[in-house]
């Protein structure tokens, strides 16, 4: 049994493997609130929040599940990178690092956060954040945030041996590198297209660092030839290697 599926949602037909094949009423093409709530609870444990209030179709549910599963894989990888880089820096700032390690683990501050917004909810948030973009019907917005130490304390610390604080920017830069190496590959494999919609240097601490529009079965063409990524903001923002 797929781990996302409570027994009451399973259909008995043979050959159905995708969670979205089960999580809807076969007599309807829309998804029930109880089914979405199950997914919300399942992914919330992995710091992936799903914000969907509008009625969605079975195909849109596929998109949500595929997006959340890709985020789950990325999140696990970035958590590994976080601690690997932390251990490298740890020797330079003991005992401060020991206290910080305990604090991070006790408060679950070692995981990147993801949020998935349906079109209507996303448009409200984008307006609130003054991000001038219009989301396509049927698309979703994916929000990425660093763990709190990297989001709020990135400017603290020194990369030099003997510093008195952890060089959070060193860990953050490595997280960025791995994030970009993972996200487009995973989303392409899931038959999803993503388009970054916030400008370089356009971030909001505690709210978002990267914003993406996620679409299904679309392959927008990047000006430089990639079929995976396209920036819908001004041409000055184009360039997949720019992690700002």
From its phi and psi, is residue 112 left (phi > 0), alpha (psi between -120 and 50) or beta? beta
pLDDT tens track for 92-138:
777 767 888 888 999 989 999 999 999 999 999 999 999 999 998 88
Q: Return the top range by mean pLDDT from 55-64, 146-155, 156-165, 197-206.
A: 197-206
pLDDT in tens, 14-34: 344 455 444 544 445 455 666
pLDDT of residue 57: 79
Alpha-carbon distance values, 177 to 25, 48, 140, 244 (Å): 42, 20, 24, 11
Query: Between these two residues, 69 and 41, which has the higher pLDDT value?
Result: 69
Residue 242 pLDDT class (50, 70, 90 cuts): low
Is the distance from CB of 47 to CB of 114 less than 8 angstroms? yes
Q: Cβ distance 222 to 229 under 8 Å?
A: yes
- Per-residue pLDDT band at 154 (split at 50, 70, 90): confident
Give the global pTM. 0.76
- Structural tokens at position 18: 């995708």
């Amino acid at each position: 049994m797929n781990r996302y599926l409570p027994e009451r949602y399973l259909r008995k037909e043979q050959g159905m493997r995708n969670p979205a094949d089960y999580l809807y009423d076969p007599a309807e093409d829309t998804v029930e609130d109880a089914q979405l709530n199950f997914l919300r609870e399942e992914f919330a444990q992995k710091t992936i929040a799903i914000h969907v209030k509008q009625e969605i179709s079975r195909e849109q549910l596929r998109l949500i599940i595929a997006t959340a599963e890709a985020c789950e894989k990325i999140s696990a990888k970035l958590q590994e990178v976080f601690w690997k880089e932390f251990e490298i820096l740890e020797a330079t700032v003991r005992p401060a690092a020991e206290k910080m390690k305990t604090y991070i683990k006790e408060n679950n501050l070692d995981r990147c956060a993801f949020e998935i917004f349906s079109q209507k909810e996303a448009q409200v948030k984008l307006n609130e954040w003054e991000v001038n973009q219009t989301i396509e019907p049927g698309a979703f917005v994916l929000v990425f945030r660093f763990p709190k130490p990297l989001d709020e304390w990135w400017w603290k610390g020194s990369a030099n041996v003997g510093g008195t604080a952890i060089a959070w920017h060193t860990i953050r830069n490595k997280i960025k590198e791995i994030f970009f190496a993972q996200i487009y590959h995973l989303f392409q494999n899931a038959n999803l297209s993503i388009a970054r919609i916030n400008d370089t240097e356009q971030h909001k601490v505690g709210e978002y660092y990267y914003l993406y529009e996620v679409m299904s079965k679309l392959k927008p063409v990047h000006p430089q030839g990639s079929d995976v990524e396209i920036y819908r903001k001004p041409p000055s923002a184009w360039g997949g290697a720019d992690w700002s």
